[in-house]
C-alpha cells in the first residue's frame, strides 16, 4: 500500500512539475509574515528571477510601487482571516523592470497541531489577456466619446413586437431624453413619432425586412414637446434567414429640412415671376454652340418648351435670323473681354415668323476661368416696328 501511495505521489509530483515547466504558471508558499519559503522554477519564465533569488523575500516586495501598500494590507487580511482566495489580480515587477499582470489564487496551510504555517498557491501569467482587456476598455471609452460628440444617434432594437430598443447612444440627450428611458419603455419610440407621419413610418417598416435597409424622414417629439425632423437609417441583421437585430442611426435634419422648404418656396416664387415676366432667363455654356443649360418656362411666348433647348444644344444658334447670325456670333466673343454683352437680333418663332429680341448676358468665372453665361431675352418686336414706323413717317415728312 505504501509503495502504491508512493507511486501515486510521484505521479502527482511529476504532473505538477510538467505544468510548472510548460505553462505560464508558478507555485509558491509564504510564511505568516509574507516571506517566500518556496517558489517553483516557473518563476524564471515569468518574472526572470531564479527561486534562490526570491526565497526569503517578502512577496509584496515584487508588487508595483503605487499598489504595494494597498496589496500589503489586503494580503494581511487574508492571512489574518485564514481564508482561501482566487480573485487577486495584480501587477508585479519582473527582473528587467517591466510590469506584468498575474492572477493569484491560494489558501492557508497548517501543521499537525493546527498552527498556521502560511499560504500556498499558484500564480498565472494573464498579462496578454489583461492588456487586451485594457485595449478594449480604451477603445470602448474612445467610442463613447465619439458617440457623445457625433451628431448621429446610434441605436439597436429588436426586429419584432414593439421593436424594443436594446441600445441607444448617450447623445440621445440632444433631444432631451436619457438612454435608459428608451431601454425601460419599449413603446416610447413609437409614441414620439409625429401623428401625421406615424402611419407611413409603420407601414413602410416591411421594406426593412424585404430590402434589408430602410431610410425614412419624420418628425420626432423632443422631451420638451417640440418636434425635430430626423432622418432614420436602418439595416436588418440576420443569422441565416432569421432576423436577429435592427441597427440604425438618427440624424437631426431640421435645419436642412427648413432650408429645403425655403428653397422650394423660393423656386416656386421664381417660377411664378418668370412665368409672368416678359424677360426669358437662361444659362448657357461659355463655349461651342453656347448650349442652353437652363431656360425659364416663359419661352413659350415664342412657341417653345424649355426642354427643346436642353435636348438640342444647337437650337438657339439655329433660330437666329441668317442675316443676323454672323454678327451675333462675332460679337458674342466680346463677352470674354468685357464680361457683359447686349445684342439685338431676330429670333425664329415656332410659327415661322421672326421676333426681335434684346439679349443681355453676363459671364460667370471661377478663379478666372469662364464656367457659365447667364442672361435674359426681351421681346422688342413692337419697339422695333414702332421705331420703323416713326422713321418712315419722318422721312415722308422731310420729303
Q: Which pLDDT belongs to residue 24? A: 81
Decide the pairing of beta strands 213-221 and 227-239. antiparallel
Q: Which helix (H) or strand (E) holds 309?
A: helix 306-311
Q: What is the mean pLDDT of residues 226-232?
A: 94
Residues 281 and 246 in one domain: no
Phi-psi region of 143 (alpha: psi -120 to 50; beta: other; left: phi over 0): alpha
The answer to whether position 396 is within a domain reads: no
Phi-psi region of 225 (alpha: psi -120 to 50; beta: other; left: phi over 0): left
The answer to whether position 270 is within a domain reads: no
Q: What is the mean pLDDT of residues 331-338?
A: 92
Residues 102 and 157 in one domain: no
Q: Which pLDDT belongs to residue 20? A: 53
Residues 71 and 146 in one domain: no
Write the CB contacts of 384 (distance below 8 Å, at least 6 apart in sequence).
356
The answer to whether position 185 is within a domain reads: yes
Higher-scoring residue by pLDDT: 142, 378: 378
The answer to whether position 269 is within a domain reads: no
Top-ranked range on mean pLDDT: pick from 152-161, 283-292, 355-364, 380-389: 355-364
pLDDT in tens, 35-52: 999 999 999 999 999 999
Q: Which three cell numbers stand for residue 159?
A: 426586429
Q: Which pLDDT belongs to residue 12? A: 42
Residues 206 and 308 in one domain: no
Distance CA 26, CA 41 (A): 7
Top-ranked range on mean pLDDT: pick from 53-67, 74-88, 344-358: 344-358
Q: Which three cell numbers stand for residue 76?
A: 494581511
Q: What is the mean pLDDT of residues 130-140?
A: 77
**The domain boundary residue, chosen from 94, 129, 164:** 129
- Domain containing residue 368: CATH number: 3.30.450.20
Residues 306 and 335 in one domain: yes
Q: Which pLDDT belongs to residue 184? A: 93
Distance CA 394, CA 399 (A): 8
Identify the three-state secondary structure at position 25. Answer: strand
The set of long-range contacts for 20-26, using a CB threshold of 8 Å and a minimum separation of 24, is: 24/124, 24/125, 25/122, 25/123, 25/124, 25/125, 26/122, 26/123
Q: What is the mean pLDDT of residues 252-278?
A: 75
The answer to whether position 317 is within a domain reads: yes
Q: Which pLDDT belongs to residue 71? A: 83
The answer to whether position 272 is within a domain reads: no
Residue 59 pLDDT exceeds 70: yes
**The domain boundary residue, chosen from 107, 129, 151:** 129
Closest CA to 165 of 155, 178, 154: 155
pTM of the model: 0.43
Q: Give the count of alpha carbons within 13 A of 45, CB side only.
A: 15
Residues 66 and 113 in one domain: yes
pLDDT in tens, 354-390: 999 999 999 999 888 999 999 999 999 998 888 888 8
Residue 8 pLDDT exceeds 70: no
Closest CA to 224 of 177, 168, 292, 271: 177
Residues 190 and 236 in one domain: yes
Residues 110 and 50 in one domain: yes
Q: Which three cell numbers stand for residue 116?
A: 498556521
Residues 99 and 148 in one domain: no
Q: What is the mean pLDDT of residues 344-355?
A: 95
Residues 241 and 313 in one domain: no
Q: Which pLDDT belongs to residue 182? A: 93
The set of long-range contacts for 308-317, using a CB threshold of 8 Å and a minimum separation of 24, is: 313/288, 313/289, 314/289, 316/284, 316/289, 316/290, 316/291, 316/292, 317/289, 317/290
Largest CA distance in the chain: 156
Decide the pairing of beta strands 152-157 and 85-93. unpaired
Residues 245 and 292 in one domain: no
Strands in 280-284's sheet, in edge-to-edge order, are: 292-295, 280-284, 369-379, 354-366, 340-348
Closest CA to 314 of 285, 340, 334: 285
Identify the three-state secondary structure at position 337. Answer: helix
Write the CB contacts of 147 (distance below 8 Å, at least 6 apart in sequence).
154, 169, 170, 171
Q: What is the number of structural domains in the chain? A: 3
Q: Which helix (H) or strand (E) holds 331?
A: helix 325-332
What percent of the chain is predicted at pLDDT more than 70? 88
The answer to whether position 30 is within a domain reads: yes
Distance CA 228, CA 104 (A): 55
Does residue 18 contact residue 24 with C-beta atoms inside 8 Å?
Answer: no
Residues 164 and 105 in one domain: no
Q: Is the dihedral of CA 108, 111, 112, 114 positive or negative?
A: negative
Q: Which residues of 53-71 are buried (b: 16+ CB within 10 A; e: fewer)?
A: ebeeebbbebbeeeebeeb
Mean pLDDT score across all residues of the chain: 86
Beta bridge pairs of residue 320: 347
Q: Which range marks the domain in which residue 90 is found?
A: 2-129
**The domain boundary residue, chosen from 129, 158, 193:** 129
The answer to whether position 262 is within a domain reads: no
Distance CA 223, CA 181 (A): 11
DSSP 126-169: -HHHHHHHHHHHHHHHHHHHHHHH-SEEEEEE-SSTT--EEEE-
Amino acid at each position: 500500500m505504501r509503495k502504491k501511495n508512493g507511486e501515486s505521489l510521484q505521479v502527482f509530483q511529476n504532473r505538477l512539475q510538467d505544468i510548472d515547466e510548460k505553462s505560464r504558471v508558478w507555485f509558491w508558499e509564504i510564511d505568516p509574515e509574507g516571506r517566500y519559503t518556496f517558489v517553483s522554477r516557473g518563476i524564471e519564465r515569468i518574472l526572470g528571477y531564479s527561486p534562490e533569488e526570491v526565497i526569503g523575500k517578502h512577496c509584496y516586495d515584487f508588487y508595483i510601487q503605487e499598489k504595494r501598500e494597498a496589496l500589503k494590507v489586503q494580503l494581511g487580511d487574508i492571512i489574518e482571516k485564514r481564508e482561501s482566495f482566487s480573485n487577486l489580480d495584480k501587477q508585479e515587477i519582473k527582473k528587467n523592470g517591466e510590469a506584468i499582470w498575474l492572477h493569484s489564487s491560494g489558501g492557508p496551510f497548517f501543521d499537525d497541531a493546527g498552527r498556521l504555517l502560511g499560504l500556498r498557491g499558484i500564480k498565472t501569467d494573464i498579462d496578454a489577456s489583461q492588456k487586451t482587456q485594457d485595449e478594449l476598455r480604451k477603445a470602448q471609452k474612445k467610442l463613447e466619446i465619439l458617440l457623445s460628440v457625433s451628431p448621429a444617434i446610434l441605436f439597436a432594437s429588436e426586429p419584432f413586437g414593439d421593436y424594443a430598443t436594446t441600445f441607444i447612444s448617450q447623445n440621445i440627450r440632444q433631444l432631451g431624453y436619457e438612454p435608459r428611458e428608451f431601454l425601460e419603455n419599449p413603446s416610447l419610440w413609437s409614441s414620439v413619432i409625429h401623428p401625421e407621419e406615424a402611419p407611413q413610418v409603420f407601414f413602410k417598416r416591411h421594406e426593412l425586412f424585404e430590402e434589408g435597409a430602410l431610410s425614412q424622414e419624420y418628425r420626432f417629439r423632443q422631451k420638451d414637446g417640440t418636434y425635430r425632423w430626423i432622418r432614420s437609417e436602418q439595416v436588418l441583421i440576420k443569422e441565416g434567414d432569421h432576423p436577429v437585430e435592427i441597427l440604425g442611426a438618427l440624424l437631426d435634419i431640421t435645419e436642412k429640412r427648413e432650408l429645403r422648404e425655403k428653397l422650394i418656396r423660393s423656386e416656386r416664387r421664381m417660377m411664378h415671376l418668370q412665368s409672368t415676366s416678359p424677360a426669358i432667363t437662361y444659362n448657357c455654356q461659355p463655349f461651342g454652340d453656347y448650349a442652353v443649360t437652363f431656360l425659364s418656362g416663359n419661352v413659350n411666348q415664342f412657341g417653345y418648351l424649355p426642354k427643346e433647348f436642353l435636348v438640342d444644344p444647337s437650337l438657339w444658334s439655329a433660330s437666329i435670323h441668317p442675316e443676323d447670325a454672323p454678327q451675333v456670333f462675332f460679337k458674342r466673343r466680346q463677352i470674354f473681354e468685357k464680361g457683359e454683352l447686349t445684342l439685338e437680333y431676330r429670333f425664329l418663332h415656332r410659327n415661322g415668323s421672326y421676333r426681335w429680341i434684346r439679349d443681355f448676358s453676363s459671364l460667370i468665372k471661377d478663379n478666372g476661368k469662364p464656367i457659365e453665361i447667364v442672361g435674359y431675352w426681351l421681346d422688342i418686336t413692337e419697339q422695333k416696328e414702332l421705331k420703323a414706323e416713326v422713321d418712315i413717317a419722318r422721312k415722308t415728312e422731310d420729303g
